[in-house]
């Protein structure tokens, strides 16, 4: 149905069985991606963003990983119930992935054009000549100069930014309905980063795609997101329309992230403290050891349920809801409005949040925080 979200994730749980114990990298994460929109998953390194993206098409390697619970519906189909053949068809078919390091997506001993041809013919029965023409067209569309000539070049003959463009062309080769882009610009310099973000925006419109962009960079979120999901230690802290979240940031973690942006009066080197242990997280709110507003209720039980501030803005914090007092949080210094979504306030490298996290990308916990 047209008004159904393209992607619906409910109480997703992804675990890793390690020698140190069970890492619950994603622990009850829920969000939707609607048709044609860009949703950003944002949080520090180690917060569970990447594992969430990989779980969507069950790319998590098993063992040691497993998608242990929850629901993932893509275009009305239950991803967790798909056969291996259906999953292969989904990945690189209707769901494209772009990763931080384009090198990993490209075969170093195979010309880039033929890699795109192969990606097309893996999912569609089209003659080689037609696939080749489409590959050249895609290389053109992503801004590779002299695409026909460069079709036969190898990955090492491209710069980092151009390699990422080729990786984007590969991800688009099958006209995906959803593009999952995991830190696609982090390895690139600021100028190239902006070019790639602009390109993704243009292609999203042209291909009528939805995009799930995974990033630690709130400057990127401000540039491209329609909606944002703030994750911390495998849990959703706040989610909503990007204007609501930037104008009215409600979770102390979101507010701390925003204060890291230039022009917001805070430090640029991140938030004090570290993510909690991946295998032994604290009870109560996962953020409480770093939170200036923590009270006794934050230190027991599970993560506070997500409380709906509006139709499209939820927050997981004890200071909201019928018995809470949001002023406890909002009464602190303003998270500021110097940089907001859509105002061209991209802040490049300085906008990233502190990287005090653990690897692997996720933590553990005690159940989801869906109400």
Task: Please list every residue from 248 through 277 that binds ligand SF4, using CB under 6 A.
Answer: 251-252
Crossing angle of helices 160-172 and 112-123, rounded to 10°: 20
325 φψ region: left (φ > 0), alpha (ψ -120 to 50), beta (else): beta
**C-alpha to C-alpha distance for 37 and 228, rounded to whole angstroms:** 11
Toward ligand SF4, which CB reaches closer, 308 or 338? Answer: 308
Smallest distance from ligand SF4 to CB 328, Å: 7
Say if CB 247 and CB 264 are below 8 A apart: no
Q: Strand 7-18 and strand 21-33: pairing?
A: antiparallel
Toward ligand SF4, which CB reaches closer, 289 or 340? Answer: 289
Of 196-204, 220-228, 262-270, 281-289: span binding ligand SF4 (CB under 6 A): 281-289
Toward ligand SF4, which CB reaches closer, 251 or 358? Answer: 251
Of 37-45, 94-102, 290-298, 306-314: span binding ligand SF4 (CB under 6 A): 290-298
Smallest distance from ligand SF4 to CB 341, Å: 22
Output phi, psi for 24, to 5 deg.
Answer: -90, 85
Burial class (CB in 10 A: 0-12, 13-18, 19+), 178: buried
Residue whose entry in the numeric block shows the structure tokens 């930014």:
161
Contact letters (x/-) for ligand SF4, 213-252, by CB under 6 A?
--------------------------------------xx
Is 294 a binder of ligand SF4 (CB under 6 A)?
A: yes
Is 293 a binder of ligand SF4 (CB under 6 A)?
A: yes
Smallest distance from ligand SF4 to CB 212, Å: 25
> What residues are paired with 320 via a beta bridge?
none
What is the size of the binding site for ligand SF4 (CB under 6 A)? 13
- The residue within the footprint of ligand SF4, chosen from 117, 144, 298, 306 (CB under 6 A), is 298
Is 309 a binder of ligand SF4 (CB under 6 A)?
A: no
For residue 169 the two structure tokens come to 């062309």
Of 107-115, 165-173, 220-228, 289-297: span binding ligand SF4 (CB under 6 A): 289-297
**DSSP conformation letters of 18-36:** ETTEEEEEEEEEEEEE-TT
Of 64-72, 102-110, 124-132, 313-321: span binding ligand SF4 (CB under 6 A): 313-321
- The residue within the footprint of ligand SF4, chosen from 41, 147, 317, 351 (CB under 6 A), is 317
Toward ligand SF4, which CB reaches closer, 12 or 318? Answer: 318
End-to-end CA gap in the chain? 26
- The residue within the footprint of ligand SF4, chosen from 171, 173, 291, 306 (CB under 6 A), is 291
Toward ligand SF4, which CB reaches closer, 200 or 237? Answer: 237
HSE at residue 218, side-chain half, CA atoms within 13 A, is: 32
Smallest distance from ligand SF4 to CB 367, Å: 15
Smallest distance from ligand SF4 to CB 317, Å: 3
Say if CB 198 and CB 177 are below 8 A apart: no
Is 318 a binder of ligand SF4 (CB under 6 A)?
A: yes
Say if CB 285 and CB 317 are below 8 A apart: yes
Smallest distance from ligand SF4 to CB 335, Å: 14
DSSP one-letter code for 306: P
Smallest distance from ligand SF4 to CB 312, Å: 20
**C-alpha to C-alpha distance for 222 and 40, rounded to whole angstroms:** 10
Residue whose entry in the numeric block shows the structure tokens 């990298």:
25
Is 177 a binder of ligand SF4 (CB under 6 A)?
A: no
**C-alpha to C-alpha distance for 369 and 234, rounded to whole angstroms:** 10
Length in residues, the chain: 371
Toward ligand SF4, which CB reaches closer, 29 or 138? Answer: 29
For residue 207 the two structure tokens come to 């291909």
Say if CB 181 and CB 200 are below 8 A apart: yes
Contacts with ligand SF4 by CB under 6 A lie at 251-252, 285, 287-288, 291, 293-294, 298, 304, 317-319
């Amino acid at each position: 149905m047209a008004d159904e979200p393209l992607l619906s994730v409910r109480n997703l749980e992804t675990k890793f069985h390690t020698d140190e114990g069970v890492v619950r990298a994603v622990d009850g994460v829920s969000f939707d991606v609607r048709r044609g929109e860009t949703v950003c998953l944002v949080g520090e390194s180690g917060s569970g963003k990447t594992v969430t993206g990989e779980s969507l098409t069950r790319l998590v390697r098993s063992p040691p990983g497993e998608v242990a619970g929850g629901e993932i519906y893509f275009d009305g189909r239950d991803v967790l119930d798909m056969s291996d053949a259906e999953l292969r068809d989904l990945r690189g078919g209707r769901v494209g992935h772009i990763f931080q390091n384009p090198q990993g997506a490209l075969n170093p001993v195979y010309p880039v054009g033929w890699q795109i041809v192969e990606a097309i013919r893996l999912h569609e029965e089209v003659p080689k000549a037609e696939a080749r023409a489409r590959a050249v067209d895609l290389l053109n569309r992503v801004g590779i100069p002299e695409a026909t000539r460069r079709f036969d070049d190898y990955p090492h003959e491209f710069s980092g930014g151009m390699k990422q463009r080729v990786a984007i062309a590969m991800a688009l080769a099958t006209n995906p309905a959803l593009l999952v882009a995991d830190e696609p610009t982090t390895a690139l310099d600021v100028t190239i980063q902006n070019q790639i973000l602009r390109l993704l925006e243009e292609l999203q419109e042209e291909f009528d795609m939805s995009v799930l962009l995974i990033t630690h960079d709130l400057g990127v979120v401000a540039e491209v997101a329609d909606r944002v999901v703030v994750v911390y230690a495998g849990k959703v802290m706040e989610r909503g329309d990007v204007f609501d979240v930037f104008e009215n940031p409600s979770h102390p973690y979101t507010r701390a992230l925003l204060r890291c942006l230039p022009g917001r009066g805070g430090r640029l080197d991140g938030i004090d403290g570290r993510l909690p242990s991946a295998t032994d997280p604290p009870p109560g709110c996962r953020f409480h050891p770093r939170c200036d507003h923590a009270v006794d209720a934050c230190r027991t039980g599970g993560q506070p349920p997500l409380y709906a501030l509006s139709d499209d803005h939820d927050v997981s914090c004890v200071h909201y809801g019928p018995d809470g007092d949001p002023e406890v949080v909002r009464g602190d210094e303003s998270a500021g409005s110097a940089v907001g979504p859509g105002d061209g306030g991209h802040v490049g490298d300085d906008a990233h949040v502190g990287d005090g996290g653990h690897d692997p990308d996720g933590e553990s916990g005690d159940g989801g925080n869906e109400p």
